[in-house]
Every structure is written in C-alpha cells, then in structure tokens.
Amino acid sequence: MSYLRKNNRKYDEIRKVTVLPQFCPAALGSVLYSCGNTKVICAVSQATQIPQHAIDKGIGWITAEYTLLPYATNPRTERRNLRPDGRSVEIQRLIGRSLRTVLNLEAMQGVSLVVDCDVLQADGGTRTAAISGAYIALQLAIKTLLKQNIIAENPVKAQVAAISIGYIENNLLLDLDYEEDSRCDVDMNVVMDSNNNVIEIQGTGEKRSFSTNELESMLLLAQDGIQKIFKIQNDMLKLSL
C-alpha cells in the first residue's frame, strides 16, 4: 500500500515553491523562499573583514549564518542569543560549503560575503530550502556588486540546490515535510550543482539500514527534484536580473 501524502502530493512531487526577491532592501541580494509551509529569508551582505586565509591565497570568501527563529516552530524554539546550537552551526557550515563549491573565489579577490538564512516558519527541509534560496540571493547580490564595479565578472560557475528524500516503510518520498521527516525509516539531504555533480549527501538510517540499491534510488529521485528547483531558480532570476 502506497503512502498517502497531504494534498494528494505524488511521491516524486516537490512542494510548491514561491520566491519573493529583494525582501530585505538593505542587503546586496535577498529572497523570501517558501517551500510548502517552510519559509526562509536568505540575505547576502558584504562582510566588513576578509578572512586572513583568503587574503593569503588571493581569493574572496563567502560564509553563512543560519537561525531558526523562536516562532518558526510549535512549541517555540529557544532563542540562542550568545552561541548558536550545534545544529545551527552544522547547517550554516553546510550552506557555506555548498555556495563556495560553485564559486570562482579568485574572481572575488578582496570581497567577503555573508549569507544570513533565517527560518520564519519550519515544516521540514529548512536546510535544503536555505541552500536553494541562498543561491538566488547570491546571484542578486552578484548583480549588485557588478553594477557597483566591486567585482569585474560573475564568479558563479554553476547553480546549487538541495532537497530532502526518505523512506517511510517501503515508500520512497521526495521533499519531506516535518510530519513525513519525523516518521522516516531512512532520511537523506542531497546537495547538487547544475552539472549533475553531488556536493554533499547527509543520509541516516533512522530506524533501519538501507541498501546500496536504495541509496541509488534516493539519489536519482533527489536529482530529479533538484532539476525542478533549478528551473524555478532560473525562472526567478530571469525576471529579476
């Protein structure tokens, strides 16, 4: 018996994605990225300082900060005023790595960027939504930097997007909401670039182990979902750039 999803969503169907560009006027580039009931603000700003290791190598840099706002969940998530929790640190490092992978950092020499990803509403897939939205915000920020003659060329080499996937019993599902994620036997997040290369895989056997054949099935379905997100990104940027 197949698993019945909300709104009759098919097993290989992603949640509805909406993108509101330039949501934060003070940022170089920003979006409000919504994936189903998950909503994330992604805003790119220029950092005041460049890391010493980037200066030594003659390259630019980009890092990320991720915050799950208290009212994004029910019950309320405690605010971390002084130090991010371990989960937030792990996610913001993932976002930073994912963006750096598709950047020519040499073309950003002398420039350091920070992408802030703030979750307004969490219903599963916050890290994958943050990565997919951050790419759009980054491209909008690059447009601003080019216009201001701060950089001479677009350093973005490829698109980047991410999606969640998992098994509930024997049902393989794409783009999990919170209810599905909490019930998963196997849970995975996949980050890929537009050259069909894998950037990162985070997979866990929550209630059981999984076979290499199941791993291959998850990766193929994740790739299909990410291709759909690439199209959404491109369509949004065509309207904004």
What is the residue range of 101's domain? Answer: 11-240
Tokens standing for 123? 């219903």
Dihedral pair phi/psi, residue 50, rounded to 5° = -105, 130
Q: Is residue 1 part of a domain?
A: no
- The number of folded domains in the chain is 1
What's the pLDDT tens digit per position in 136-175?
A: 999 999 999 999 999 999 999 999 999 999 999 899 999 9
Residue 186 placed within a domain: yes
pLDDT tens for residues 70-84?
Answer: 888 888 888 776 566
CA torsion through residues 43, 44, 48, 52, sign: positive
Query: What's the CA gap between 139 and 142, in Å, rounded?
Result: 5
Residue 34 lies in a domain: yes
Q: Is the pLDDT of residue 12 over 80?
A: yes
Query: CA dist 123 to 25, 34, 129, 177, Å?
Result: 26, 10, 11, 5
pTM, to two decimals = 0.95
Asked, for residue 3, whether it belongs to a domain, the answer is no
> Of the ranges 15-19, 87-91, 198-202, which one carries the lowest mean pLDDT score?
87-91
Q: Is residue 5 part of a domain?
A: no
The residue type found at 25 is: P
Q: Is the pLDDT of residue 183 over 70?
A: yes
Average pLDDT over residues 213-227: 98
Average pLDDT over residues 100-126: 97
**What CATH number corresponds to the domain at position 183?**
3.30.230.70
Name the strand (E) or helix (H) holding 221: helix 212-240
Tell me whether residue 4 is in a domain.
no
Instruction: Determine the pLDDT at residue 83.
Output: 67
R_g of the chain, CA atoms, integer Å: 18
Q: What's the mean pLDDT when you consider all of the chain?
A: 95
At residue 1, the pLDDT reads 47
The answer as to whether 6 is a domain residue is no
Report the DSSP pairing between strands 61-68 and 112-121.
Answer: parallel
